[in-house]
């Protein structure tokens, strides 16, 4: 097992999408630039969804074009990969128009969540993926697949493992290069994670799987560690833990990028990130979304020794 890990920064999409305060496209472009400067190589830039339903993602066209422009002007390193979420063919056409080289699809493992979240059944969502995949092939656009509610659904509760495995196989069979297994509401624990991923790995190779954990119940790092030990090397994280959990008010959502980087760096695993720059981004982003970010490392920072104490000092 290679001693490295890749993080996919989802703060700009999954993070901001769940924030109350919308952030302007200009600020999102600058956010992407700062993330790239801190060493992030894979990033979600936005979503081509209905702005009346998800106003936080309005202006995603401007954001995608903006970051690609910065990349052309070498203000963002050329090896940074941007992805954009597309729910259907219409979104895919916008992605093509934007110049995006990667898109992400999104399916749920529970019918209730699929209906509530994307207003169609799971089968219907896969029907929508067919023309998207066709266009992707034609335009040589990489496609990533997200699977949500893999460990529990806010409406149905338990989600059967067999169903998750079946939908993950279906997603992989579409031709996506990676399937991100999501704990959308942060209910998973390391026991459940180990069981599900062991089953998934019987059908999908580790290099095609990613873990997407929310820290709602504080389990995300333990879950990531468990998944990493099974050979998975890609995890979705969000700067500062951006994005709350709509199903648990007051609780956190996406696991914070800095917390994950702190862990892997401590384990001697290469991440390619500058932890200090990630930490420094916290107050900047906090100002934009108008609240303190939940990230633990973002709040506590690194250990900065106060200086040795001698016997004379405490007399």
* Range 234-263, binding a copy of itself (CB under 8 A): 245, 247-248, 250-252, 256, 259, 262-263
Q: Are 240 and 282 in contact (CB under 8 A)?
A: yes
The one among 68, 93, 96, 115 contacting a copy of itself by CB under 8 A? 115
131 binds a copy of itself (CB under 8 A): no
d(CA 158, CA 150): 9
What H or E segment, with its residue span, contains residue 62?
Answer: helix 60-72
d(CA 21, CA 147): 26
Q: Is 245 a catalytic residue?
A: yes
201 binds a copy of itself (CB under 8 A): no
Nearest to 151 by CA among 207, 94, 227: 227
Q: Are 5 and 270 in contact (CB under 8 A)?
A: yes
* Range 156-175, binding a copy of itself (CB under 8 A): 156-157
What are the φ/ψ torsions at residue 20 (nearest 5 degrees)?
-70, -40
CA atoms within 13 A on the CB side of 43: 30
58 binds a copy of itself (CB under 8 A): no
Contact stretch for a copy of itself (CB under 8 A) within 5-13, 168-176, 210-218, 282-290? 210-218
The one among 74, 79, 202, 303 contacting a copy of itself by CB under 8 A? 303
Q: Are 155 and 116 in contact (CB under 8 A)?
A: yes
How many chain residues interact with a copy of itself (CB under 8 A)? 61
Q: Which residues bind a copy of itself (CB under 8 A)?
A: 111-113, 115-116, 119, 121, 152-157, 185-192, 215-219, 221-222, 224-226, 245, 247-248, 250-252, 256, 259, 262-263, 265-268, 295-297, 299-301, 303, 305-311, 313-314
The residues assigned a catalytic role are 245
């Amino acid at each position: 097992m290679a001693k490295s890990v890749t993080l996919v920064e989802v703060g700009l999409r999954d993070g901001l999408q769940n924030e109350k305060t919308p952030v302007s496209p200009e600020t999102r472009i600058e956010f992407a630039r700062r993330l790239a400067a801190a060493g992030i190589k894979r990033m979600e830039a936005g979503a081509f969804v209905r702005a009346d339903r998800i106003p936080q993602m309005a202006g995603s066209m401007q954001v995608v074009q903006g970051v690609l422009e910065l990349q052309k002007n070498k203000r963002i390193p050329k090896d940074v990969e941007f992805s954009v979420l597309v729910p259907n063919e219409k979104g895919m056409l916008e992605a093509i128009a934007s110049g995006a080289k990667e898109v992400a699809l999104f399916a749920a493992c529970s019918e209730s969540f699929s209906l509530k979240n994307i207003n169609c059944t799971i089968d219907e969502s896969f029907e929508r993926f067919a023309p998207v995949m066709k266009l992707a092939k034609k335009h040589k656009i990489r496609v990533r697949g997200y699977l949500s509610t893999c460990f529990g659904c806010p409406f149905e509760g338990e989600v059967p493992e067999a169903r998750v495995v079946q939908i993950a196989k279906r997603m992989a069979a579409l031709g996506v290069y990676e399937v991100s297994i999501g704990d959308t509401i942060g209910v998973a624990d390391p026991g459940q994670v180990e069981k599900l991923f062991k089953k998934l790995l019987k059908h999908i190779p580790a290099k095609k799987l990613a873990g997407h954990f929310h820290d709602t119940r504080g389990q995300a790092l333990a879950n990531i560690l468990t998944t990493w030990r099974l050979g998975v090397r890609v995890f979705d994280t969000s700067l500062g833990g951006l994005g709350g959990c709509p199903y648990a008010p007051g609780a956190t959502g996406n696991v914070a990028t800095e917390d994950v980087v702190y862990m892997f760096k401590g384990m001697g695993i290469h991440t390619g990130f500058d932890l200090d720059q990630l930490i420094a981004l916290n107050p900047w982003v906090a100002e934009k979304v108008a609240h303190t970010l939940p990230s633990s490392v973002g709040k506590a920072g690194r250990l900065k020794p106060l200086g040795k104490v001698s016997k004379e000092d405490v007399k």
